[in-house]
Amino acid sequence: MFFVSPCEKQSRLTQSHGEHKGKRRKEFSLCSLCLRVRNLKCSMNENEIGQIIVDRAVRLHKTLGPGLLESVYEVILAQQLQQAGLKVQRQAPVPIRLDGIQFEEGFRADIIVENKVIVELKSVERINKAHEKQVLTYLKLTGIKLGYLLNFGEAIMKDGIHRIINGTIG
């Protein structure tokens, strides 16, 4: 899993390490001009943002290993996503709207990226249906189409990545 952003001005080929040893991959990063312009509007779609999220999560898991507190992974992942040029909200409120009334006492999503992707972090032995329903509920309440449930408790991060879609992504 590797991240791809729309700016190819600073693209480079890199040699992979670990499980992808020997394979070449193309990485992109945002140039300083694109970082300044990003404040106007994010041009990346949900899938491109998702690639960056998964890439950073895998790297983080390889660095820190499994089983730390969720808050540790949350603060570091959020910082890494910001360094990648993405707009990140931590512990973002997910209000409940019912009969024209908004209740702010709703829920809090661990991370919302570019107002397009919700990331819910866990550090548990196994993900269960309640965790997946939690993310789907956040997606429905916010109208966001894509969410990731990332379990840093898994021995191998790829086993802890769950992609959840609300409707269709266009």
pLDDT in tens, 98-135: 898 888 877 999 999 999 999 999 999 999 999 999 99
Q: Is the pLDDT of residue 15 over 70?
A: no
Specify the pLDDT at position 42: 59
Q: Which residues contact 135 (CB under 8 A, 6 or more apart)?
A: 118, 120, 147, 148, 149, 162, 164
Give the closest residue to 109 by CA, choosing from 65, 159, 70: 70
Q: Are strands 12-15 and 88-98 parallel, antiparallel or unpaired?
A: unpaired
Q: Is the pLDDT of residue 11 over 90?
A: no
Return the bridge partners of 102, or none. 97
pLDDT category of residue 33 using cuts at 50, 70 and 90 = very low
Token pair belonging to 130? 């309640």
- For residue 144, is pLDDT > 90? yes
pLDDT of amino acid 24: 44
pLDDT tens, residue by residue, 38-63: 444 458 999 999 999 999 999 999 99
* The pLDDT value given to residue 156: 95
What are 58-92's pLDDT values in tens digits?
999 999 999 899 999 999 999 999 999 999 999 99
Quote the pLDDT of residue 30.
54
The whole-model pTM stands at 0.76
Burial pattern 57-69, b for ≥16 Cβ within 10 A else e, equals bbbbbeeeebeee
Report the distance separating Cα 73 and Cα 121, nearest Å: 8
Q: Average pLDDT of the chain?
A: 82
